[in-house]
Amino acid sequence: MSAPALRLSGVKKRFGRSEIIKGVDLTIPMGERHAIIGPNGAGKSTLFNLISARFPVTAGRIELKGEDVTGLRPFEINRKGLSRSFQITNIFPRLTVFENLRCAVLWSLGYKYSFWHRLEGLRDAREKAEQVLEDIGLMRRRDTPAGILSYAEQRALEIGITIAGGADVILLDEPTAGMSRSETDEAVALIRRVSENRTLVMVEHDMSVVFGLADRISVLVYGDIIATGAPGEIRSNATVQEAYLGTSFAHA
């Protein structure tokens, strides 16, 4: 059996005096779609920021595909095959949609800091970027500066940038936040398409999205994971219901 995609052991994060993440242990096997849910302020986004090295951990250890990545910098972790999206859209606003995606594939294709390749001559980069452009349905906006896209389009681009580099572990931070019902449905279909054969970890508030997509779910409450399991188990878990979900949850 191969190493899990992600393994967190005893991960803690303290800001000043308050401990936001209080020792999380979590193992996510390869190819799983995993959702992290929890009330506001539970530390879900912080946990993502720790895994992707946006913040340094206070204590604990993070392994990516069996390799210790604790203390690495974000670009180093990205090069090892982990990519993430952001809750607040984080794109290159003055570049066109196509250039945004091309930037996202350059490193994975091995072009690094090259100043001796002509971008236009790099067929693989162009084709890869165009493929993602099609996947996220933004062909018509190919040459539009990303900064003037609509909100839903920017969210799609955000996901596109995240998956373009071909990372096999993908972290999506509230991919459907602020979307209408129909936009959410489209986004879910997109996520389902692009996460095939990859490991997906996502933070999400929309319970129908979570239960529609996830193979397993972890519940994070005040910096602790109180339960991890298949959607059915989580739904019927008494501690979860008591601690966070209340009654509304049972109907989701």
Partner 1 sequence: MSQVLLHRNRLMVWGGTLAVMALLPVVFSQGFAISLLCQIGIMAIFALSYNMLLGQTGLLSFGHAVYYGLGAFVTLHVLNANLGIPVTLLPLAGGAAGLLAGIVLGWVSTKRAGTTFAMISLGIGEMVAASSLMFPGFFGGEGGVSGNRVTGKGLFGITYGPQIEMYYLIAGWAFVCMIAMFALTQTPLGRMANAVRDNPERAEFVGYNPQWVRYLMLVLSGLFAGIAGGLTALNYEIVTAESLSAHTSGAVLLMAFVGGVGFFYGPVIGAVLITVLQIAVAGLTKAWLFYFGVFFLVMVLYAPGGLASLLVMHKRLWQARMMGWLLPSYLLAAVPGLILFGGTIVMVEMAYALLGGAELGGSEVKVFGFVVDASSGLAWAAAAIVAGLGMLLLKRALREVSYQWNNVHAALTRGMTA
3-class SS at 154?
helix
The answer to the question of residue 141 lying near partner 1 (CB under 8 A) is: no
CB of 142 to partner 1, least distance (A): 12
> DSSP letter at 4?
P
The answer to the question of residue 123 lying near partner 1 (CB under 8 A) is: no
The answer to the question of residue 91 lying near partner 1 (CB under 8 A) is: yes
End-to-end Cα distance, the chain:
35
| The binder of partner 1 chosen from 8, 36, 104, 133 (CB under 8 A) | 104
The answer to the question of residue 143 lying near partner 1 (CB under 8 A) is: no
Among 22-30, 73-81, 186-194, 244-252, the segment contacting partner 1 (CB under 8 A): 73-81
Q: How many residues does the chain have?
A: 252
Handedness of CA 182, 155, 105, 115 (dihedral sign): positive
| The binder of partner 1 chosen from 15, 41, 71, 114 (CB under 8 A) | 114
Among 37-45, 60-68, 70-78, 208-216, the segment contacting partner 1 (CB under 8 A): 70-78
Map tokens 């982990």 to a residue: 82
Residue 193 β-bridge partners: none
The answer to the question of residue 210 lying near partner 1 (CB under 8 A) is: no
| The binder of partner 1 chosen from 45, 46, 83, 218 (CB under 8 A) | 83
The answer to the question of residue 103 lying near partner 1 (CB under 8 A) is: yes
Among 36-44, 62-70, 113-121, 205-213, the segment contacting partner 1 (CB under 8 A): 113-121
Contact between residue 68 and residue 135 where contact means Cβ atoms under 8 Å apart: no
Amino acid (1-letter code) at residue 14 = R
Residues 6+ apart with CB under 8 A from 183: 152, 155, 176
The answer to the question of residue 193 lying near partner 1 (CB under 8 A) is: no
DSSP 19-45: EEEEEEEEEE-TT-EEEEE--TTSSHH
Residues 6+ apart with CB under 8 A from 232: none
The answer to the question of residue 116 lying near partner 1 (CB under 8 A) is: yes
**What residues line the site for partner 1 (CB under 8 A)?**
52, 54, 73-75, 78-79, 83-84, 90-95, 99, 102-104, 106-108, 111-120, 122, 161, 164-165
